Amino acid sequence: MNVIIVDYNSGNISSVINSFKEVAKNKVNIEVTSDLDKIKLSDKVVLPGQGSFKSCVDALNSISGLVDVLNELVIINKKPLLGICVGLQMFADIGFEDTETKGLGWISGKVSKIDNKNGKFKLPHIGWNQINIVKDSKIFKGIENNSHMYFVHSYEFVPEDKNVVSTTTDYASNIVCSVEKENIFGTQFHPEKSDKTGLKIIDNFINL
């Protein structure tokens, strides 16, 4: 089985690569590439993302044909995809970081700044926080409710359909920290930086 981590120059993804390789332990082929032909042939796709919404969308669009290949894989061929951090945020129709930017439109919704209650809560939201599991999700199999995950973000994904939300966290308000819609999975937190619990999520994704 081929799991492709999409490399589109969106910040440092070495910890994502290392944690996937650690979990895969040579049973699964993990490859990091922006080669469209290889991505087309993948069984599962990981879309990491660090930096701003706009910078990540621009980086995706700068590789000619990449968005079309991802759309075909995910929307038409229904291959499992895991978006991490801004990788999840890009599922939205639109994001408002830096400037209004069109997202991939896979899950209707928007990405807006966390309401920090006039400075009462620090932004970015950095560090460990508990997650509340609000629906059964394949990638949270064997994960206990109120587990701690590692976050770094100032913007949140607000989906139109609340049924896609699988976990939330309390920080200033109820923030969406993961979604699941058919074959599309995303986490706002960083599973690759969330110790053994995060590795379990990666393992669940690989074993879907």
Parallel/antiparallel/unpaired status of strands 173-181 and 101-102? unpaired
The tally of domains found in the chain comes to 1
DSSP class of 72: I
Residue 7's domain comprises: 2-206
Kind and range of the H or E run holding 26: none
Task: Tell me the torsion sign for CA atoms 75, 134, 125, 4.
Answer: negative
Q: Is 148 among the catalytic positions?
A: no
190 assigned to active site: yes
CA distances (Å), 192 to each of 21, 147, 182, 188, in order?
Answer: 11, 15, 23, 12
Let me know if 56 is a catalytic residue: no
CATH number of the domain bearing residue 171: 3.40.50.880
Instruction: From the candidates 85, 125, 156, 177, give the one annotated as an active-site residue.
Output: 85
Residue 98: half-sphere exposure toward Cβ, Cα within 13 Å: 10
Provide the pLDDT for residue 58.
97
Rounded alpha-carbon distances, angstroms, from residue 179 to 1, 14, 92, 116, 172: 24, 24, 11, 22, 20
Q: Note down pLDDT in tens along the chain; length 208 residues.
A: 999 999 999 888 999 999 999 999 988 999 999 999 999 999 999 999 999 999 999 999 999 999 999 999 999 999 999 999 999 999 999 999 989 999 999 999 999 999 999 889 999 999 999 999 999 999 999 999 999 999 999 999 999 999 999 999 999 889 999 999 999 999 999 999 999 999 999 999 999 9
pLDDT of residue 10: 82
